[in-house]
Structure 1
C-alpha cells in the first residue's frame, strides 16, 4: 500500500529540527539518520542528511540539502490540542526562536508554520447554531495564541439584537 510521507527541506539543521519536533508530542521518534554517501549536486559526501522521523504516529522526512525555497504558509501543520495546557506547552516550545502569528499560527525557529488549535474550537465552530460559530470565529480572529476560555465565552455569549 502506498503512503504519503511529508518531506521538509531545510537549508541546515534538519536533524536538530526533527529532534525538537519529536520532543513535543507523544508517539514520536527519530527513525533513522542517513547521510548521502557520495558527491551530489547539493554538496560533497555527507553534506546531505535525510532524517526519517515519526511525529504523533505520522511518518515525516527532513532533508538538509542547502538553501532552496523558504517554508511558506502554503504548507502548515495543525496540532489538535486537548486543552489550554497543551496549547500553552506547544505554543511556548515552538515560540522559542519562532514568531507568533494571528489565529493560533506560529512560525518556528526553522521556518515551519504550525497551527496550535484546541479541539474545542472546531467543535464550537461546527455548532448548527451559526450565530455561535460566527461569534467564535470573530473571537479567534482577534487572538494570536488561541485562548480556550475566550473562545468559550464567545460561544456562550447571548446573541446581540
Structure 2
C-alpha cells in the first residue's frame, strides 16, 4: 500500500510549527530536520532548516521552508477528532494561542496559517442523527459557533 504524507509549505517557520504541533498532540515527535546544502530559490540559505519530518499521533508529515511564494489557506485543513469539551478546549486553546485565529463552525488557523477543524464526536453524532429535525437544530446551532460548544449543541438538538 502506498503511504500518503502531507507536505506543508512554510516561509521560514517549519521547525517552529513542527515543535508546536508535537507539543500539543500526544504520541508525537520530530523524526528529522534537514538543512539546505546550498542556495535555493525562495530564500534557502546553506545551513538553514529546509525540511522537518514529524509525526502527529501516528501521521507522518513533512514541513518545508521554501519562502513566501505559496501560503497555507483553508483549502487544506487537519481535522482533530475530539471526545468531549475538554479535548475541544485543549486543542482550540493551544492552536489559537500566540496569534492563531478563530473562524466559524469549529475551524481555526494557528499562528503559522495552518487550518484546523476541532470536531467533537458529539457534533457528528448529532448532525448525522436519523432524527432530521434534531440534526437540523444542532447544525444550525453549530453554524453560529466559532469553537464548538457541546452543551449548546445538545440543547439545540433536544429542542431546548
Please indicate the TM-score interval, normalised by the length of the shorter structure: over 0.9
State the TM-score, normalized to the length of structure 2.
Answer: 0.93
Gaps of 5+ in 1: none
Distance in 1 between residues matched to 2:49 and 2:39, nearest whole Å: 9
Q: What is residue 74 of structure 1 aligned with on the other side?
A: 75
Q: Alpha-carbon deviations, 1:71-109, whole Å to 9, x = none? A: 111101110111101111111111111111111111110
Distance in 2 between residues matched to 1:119 and 1:150, nearest whole Å: 14
Contact 1:9/1:63 (<8 A) preserved: yes
- State the Cα distance separating 1:68 from its structure 2 match: 1.5
Distance in 2 between residues matched to 1:45 and 1:12, nearest whole Å: 14
Please give the secondary structure, in 1, of the residue aligned with 2:105: helix
1:127 aligns to 2:129 (yes or no): yes
- Shift in alpha-carbon separation, 1:41–1:69, aligned structure 2, 3 A: closer
Q: Which moved more, 1:35-44 or 1:56-65?
A: 35-44
Aligned match of 1:109 in 107, 111, 117?
A: 111
Q: Show the 5 A alignment for 1:58-69.
A: 58-69=59-70
Distance in 2 between residues matched to 1:36 and 1:12, nearest whole Å: 12
Matched length: 158
Q: Alpha-carbon deviations, 1:43-85, whole Å to 9, x = none? A: 3322352000001210100111211121111101110111101
1:9 aligns to 2:9 (yes or no): yes
Q: Show the 5 A alignment for 1:128-143.
A: 128-143=130-145
Distance in 1 between residues matched to 2:20 and 2:96, nearest whole Å: 12
Q: 4+ runs of 1 displaced by more than 4 Å? A: none
Contact 1:98/1:109 (<8 A) preserved: yes
State the TM-score, normalized to the length of structure 1.
Answer: 0.93
